[in-house]
Amino acid sequence: MSLVVSAGGHPFYLQAGKGFSISKPKGYKICPRAALVEAAPRVNGSPSSTSIQVLATDRAEELKAEARALARAADASVYSPQLLAKKYGSRPVKAVKRTLEILVALGTFALKLFLDQKNGTLDQNKRKRAAELRTIFTRLGPTFIKLGQGLSTRPDLCPPEYLEELAQLQDALPTFPDADAFSCIETELGMPLESIFSSISPTPIAAASLGQVYKARLKYSGKTVAVKVQRPGIEEAIGLDFYLIRGLGFFINKYVDIITTDAVALIDEFASRVYQELNYVQEGQNARKFKMLYADKEDILVPDIFWNYTSGKVLTMEWVDGVKLNEQAAIERQGLKLLDLVTTGIQCSLRQLLEYGYFHADPHPGNLLATPEGKLAFLDFGMMSETPEEARFAIIGHVVHMVNRDYEAMARDYYALDFLSADVDVSPIVPALRDFFDDALSYTVSELNFKTLVDGLGSVLYQYPFNVPPYYALILRSLTVLEGLALYADPNFKVLAASYPYFAKRLLTDPNPYLRDALIELLFKDGRFRWNRLENLLVQGSKDRDFSAKDALQPVLKLLLGPDGEELRTLVIKEAVRVTEAVTLCTFVDTYNSVPSFMRSLIFNGNGALAMSSAELQSMMELRDQVFRIWGLLRSSENFDPALLQPILQILQQPEARSLGGRVVGGITQRLAARLLQQVLQMPMAPTSSLSALDTR
Domain boundaries, the chain: 81-174+236-273, 178-234+279-383, 548-595+613-680
Say which residues have a Cβ less than 8 Å from residue 55's Cβ, sequence separation at least 6: 37, 40, 47
pLDDT band at 462 (very low <50, low <70, confident <90, very high): low
Helical packing angle, 234-255 and 81-89, nearest 10°: 100
Secondary structure element (H or E) that encloses residue 486, with its range: helix 470-489
User: What is the DSSP-derived secondary structure letter of residue 221?
Assistant: T
Local structure of residue 41 (DSSP, 8 states): P
Identify whether the C-beta of residue 547 lies closer than 8 Å to the C-beta of residue 509.
yes
Burial class from Cβ neighbours inside 10 Å (0-12, 13-18, 19+) for residue 615 reads exposed
Q: How many CB atoms lie within 10 A of CB 654?
A: 12
Angle of the 263-278 helix axis to the 280-294 helix axis, nearest 10: 90
Asked if 323 and 376 touch (Cβ cutoff 8 Å), the reply is no
**What pLDDT band is residue 467 in, cutting at 50, 70 and 90?**
confident
Report the percent of the chain where pLDDT is more than 70. Answer: 71
- Pinpoint the alpha helices (H) of 363-469: 389-404, 407-416, 429-440, 450-463
From CA 498, how far away is CA 479, in angstroms rounded?
Answer: 11
Residue 199's pLDDT band (boundaries 50, 70, 90)?
very high
Q: What is the pLDDT of residue 625?
A: 84
Task: Give the CATH fold of the 178-234+279-383 domain.
Answer: Transferase(Phosphotransferase); domain 1 (1.10.510)
What's phi and psi for 96, nearest 5 deg?
A: -65, -40
**Quick check: 309 pLDDT over 70?**
yes
Residues with Cβ within 8 Å of 199's Cβ and at least 6 positions away in sequence, in order, are 20, 21, 22, 216, 217
Least confident range from 19-33, 237-251, 329-343, 616-630: namely 19-33
Is pLDDT of 681 > 70? no
Q: How far apart are CA 275 and CA 576, in angstroms?
A: 59
pLDDT bin (cut points 50, 70, 90) of residue 258 is low
> What is the β-pairing status of strands 300-301 and 376-378?
parallel
Strands 46-47 and 197-200: what pairing?
A: unpaired
Mean of pLDDT values over 131-139 = 90
H helices of 190-327, in order, are 193-196, 234-255, 263-278, 280-294
Q: What are the C-alpha distances in Å from 462 to residues 83, 259, 404, 425, 476?
A: 34, 9, 24, 16, 15
| Type and span of the H or E element at 100 | helix 92-119
Range of 470-479, 538-547, 664-673 with top mean pLDDT: 538-547
Highest mean pLDDT: which range of 65-69, 141-145, 401-405, 481-485: 65-69
User: For this structure, is 362 an active site residue?
Assistant: yes
Per-residue pLDDT band at 443 (split at 50, 70, 90): low
So what's the pLDDT on residue 361? Answer: 80
Give which of 134, 147, 143, 113 is closest to 256, Cα–Cα.
113
Q: pLDDT of 369-392, one tens digit each?
A: 999 999 999 998 988 888 888 888
**Stretch (H or E) spanning 124:** none
Q: Share the mean pLDDT of the chain.
A: 77
Q: Is the pLDDT of residue 661 over 90?
A: no
pLDDT digits (tens, 9 = 90+) for 592-622: 677 676 665 555 544 444 556 777 778 878 8
12 to 224, 280, 431, 453, 481: CA distances (angstroms) = 16, 20, 48, 33, 19
In the prediction, which pLDDT does 30 show? 35
Percent of the chain beyond pLDDT 90? 24
> Which ranges in 141-262 belong to alpha helices (H)?
142-151, 160-166, 178-189, 193-196, 234-255
Taking alpha carbons only, the member of 124, 127, 155, 133 closest to residue 455 is: 155
pTM of the predicted structure, to 2 decimals: 0.71
Give mean pLDDT, residues 354-382: 88
Q: With cut-offs at 50, 70 and 90, classify the pLDDT of residue 452.
A: low
Q: Distance (Å, rounded) from C-alpha 376 to C-alpha 104? A: 44
**Catalytically annotated residue among 156, 299, 304, 362:** 362
Q: Are 538 and 633 in contact (CB under 8 A)?
A: yes
Mean of pLDDT values over 353-370: 84
According to the model, what pLDDT value does residue 528 have?
76
SS3 10: strand
Do 303 and 287 touch, CB atoms closer than 8 A? Answer: yes
Fill in the DSSP letter of residue 548: -
Q: Residue 182: its pLDDT value, please?
A: 96
pLDDT score at 216: 97
Residue 524 has pLDDT above 60, yes or no: yes
- What is the rounded CA–CA span in Å between residue 460 and residue 163? 15
